[in-house]
Structure 1
Amino acid sequence: MSKVRTKSQVELRRGAAWFFGGLAVTILTYTFATNGGGGPYMVAWGPVVFGLFLLLKGLIGVLSGDSELAPVLEERTPASPDGKCPSCNSMNPPKRQYCQTCGRYMLA
């Protein structure tokens, strides 16, 4: 079962991944270019700036006490052949993607 995170925590993690990924690409390409006697290298400004933006946005949200939960992907459970929801046993029309009573996603 996955841990529930706030939107700010998710943005903080995504921002760190983009920032450090862009920084790693920049450092690696520069290192390979200088070790080979010169040559082209890439400065990944886009991922670094985008990651820094998400990092700061997530950090501000975490420090301000953001409690809005990020959407969590639920596992879809197969519905019974007679159309009953596996969670609340309410009747649903056939081929329904979610239960009308409890809102649980089901496989049609």
Structure 2
Amino acid sequence: KFVNNYMTRTLTQKLNNDDLNDDDLLQAMEFIRRYVVVGLANEMEKSIQKFLEHFGWLHLLDDNKNKCLQHLANRVNIGPYGFHKGSLEWNWIHTVNRYDYQLYLYAQYLFTRQ
């Protein structure tokens, strides 16, 4: 069964398809702000660097591990099947998952601030 706004529902423990509201979105945003180190697939190299610094793993890197991480960061597939903003598919997904979309925009904002 399709569940809309899955991330917002997960973070607010409303997985039973009850109606969501703006307070639920704010609760999910607060959870991400307080407990999540945000990484973005389209910013994989910066995300990996952020994780290494945050968790204190920089000292564990040697040349081989660093090359491996660089290789992985450059191979991330962010999807050749993406929907273009404004397309019928994008508009439907955006409408049905409006809270998750707002949560994603907030995560992008946090990525630049953490």
TM-score over 0.5 for the alignment?
no
The structure whose residues are more often helix, as a share, is 2
Q: Which structure has the greater CA radius of gyration? A: 1
The TM-score range, normalised by the shorter chain, is under 0.3
TM-score by length of structure 2 reads: 0.25
Structure of higher RCO (CA pairs closer than 8 Å, 6+ residues apart): 2
